Amino acid sequence: MNARIAKLAAIMLALAPTSLAAQDIAVRAEILHTMEGAAIADGVVVIRDGKIAAVGPAASTVVPDGLEVLTATVATPGFVDARTVVGLAGFMNQAHDQDQLDTGSPLQPHLRAIDGYNPDEDLIDWLRGFGVTTIHTGHGPGAVVSGQTMVAKTWAKTADAAVIVPRAMIAANLGADALDREKGPGTRPKQIALLRSALTAARTPKPPQSGADKDDAETFEKLDARVWKDVLARRVPLMITANRAQDIMSALRLKEEFDIDVVIDGGAESYLLIDELRDAGVTVILHPTMARHYGDMENASFATAAKLREAGIPFALQSGYEGYVPKTRVILWEAGWAAANGLAREAAMGAITSDAARAIGVGDRVGSLKVGKDGDVVLFDGDPLEYTSHVTGVVIEGRVASREER
């Protein structure tokens, strides 16, 4: 009987989601970018129990006996996609795999990303092969408030195992993508009025209640009202997709009026508002460098990332939302184009690693190679920002997630 139990346990272990078990492993690279300082020549990262246990020059960093050692020409932290809809939006671009937007109402802050996230979506596997180990994903543009976002790792078999932050931000949208002249709102003033009305209602004290009335009020309080109260209490930021300068300014006015945390998503014309953005102290999750320049993005610039960096405005790059197959972009390529258009190479790497992690609130866990952080490493056969280089391996929390050359 004991033998049967032992055999069954072994089978169950083999079939268990591999994302739940971390490995002990080391990575050695001719050039190691830690994003915690200067690159290390002939550097080593040691990962134990999914966390970084040591990092430094190979000559002075002890690699315990028995650890598998992966080698690379260049190694970097795992990439952090600061804004995407992957996992909710699928690559087939059909109704059954498009859960990033519900058009039933212009305001739906209670919709949770985790309830629509599919960890087996092929796009997640595709991005993982290009070194994306952490994603900030969730509801996309198309409604004034389309829902919530989450932060997840790209190596997991269930949404609960993947998630790092179940509710990272509330996704709001201003401008053409959230206008609906049939169902409303049909104008920009109406968009802002809806947001202002929801925030005002949430912060207006209700008359004191007692007994059964109080219990009923607590029981039946609307889900969206609870979300708005958390926004007002600055427990969760309001991420506002805004590309036109006029829409960005509307977002900044809303931030000032209600004293809430606002993150600007998109920001195509943010280079026109450098002083205003800096004074407001907001972070910009900048549109993909190669995004198509039409509609609200007709005045987008390849050089915006460099201008934000020069001005000292915190920003990160993103893959964003794409309405056409394959439904996503690769942030590594976006960073390469930003570097080709004036952004310093180290800053370009930061925009998809350390700066991106800070932008979405997980800088203490991912984004750089530092003792105690997650063991997420990307291996290359050359300079990561060169088009001719390839990803040769991806490690997530110590587990080899990919050995494929891409």
Mean pLDDT for the chain overall:
91
Same domain for 143 and 47:
no
Same domain for 89 and 185:
yes
Rounded CA separation 145/86 (Å): 18
Q: Which positions ≥6 away from 178 have C-beta within 8 Å? A: 106, 141, 142, 143, 144, 185, 191, 241
380 lies in a domain?
no
Same domain for 186 and 64:
no
Task: Tell me which of 22 and 350 has the higher pLDDT.
Answer: 350
381 lies in a domain?
no
347 lies in a domain?
yes
Which pLDDT value is given to residue 11? 37
Q: What is the pLDDT of residues 80-103, one digit of tens each?
A: 999 999 999 998 888 889 999 998
Rounded CA separation 238/295 (Å): 23
Same domain for 331 and 202:
yes
Which pLDDT value is given to residue 223? 82
Q: What is the mean pLDDT of residues 241-269?
A: 98
Q: Which positions ≥6 away from 306 have C-beta within 8 Å? A: 338, 341, 342, 343, 344
CATH code for the domain in which residue 55 is found: 2.30.40.10
Same domain for 113 and 69:
no
Q: Which positions ≥6 away from 183 have C-beta within 8 Å? A: 103, 106
Same domain for 66 and 195:
no
Which pLDDT value is given to residue 180? 85
Lowest mean per-residue pLDDT among 109-113, 208-212, 329-333? 208-212
252 lies in a domain?
yes
Same domain for 43 and 174:
no
> pLDDT-derived band of residue 256, with 50, 70 and 90 as boundaries?
very high
Which pLDDT value is given to residue 113? 98
| pLDDT greater than 50 at residue 36 | yes
Q: What is the pLDDT of residues 186-239, one digit of tens each?
A: 999 999 999 999 999 999 876 655 555 554 444 435 788 999 999 999 999 999
384 lies in a domain?
no
Which pLDDT value is given to residue 15? 38
378 lies in a domain?
no
| pLDDT greater than 50 at residue 14 | no
CATH code for the domain in which residue 342 is found: 3.20.20.140
Which pLDDT value is given to residue 12? 37
Q: How many domains does the structure of the chain reveal?
A: 2
Alpha helices (H) along 287-401: 304-311, 331-340, 345-350, 354-359
Instruction: Identify the domain containing residue 33 by its residue range.
Output: 2-76+391-402
> pLDDT-derived band of residue 119, with 50, 70 and 90 as boundaries?
very high
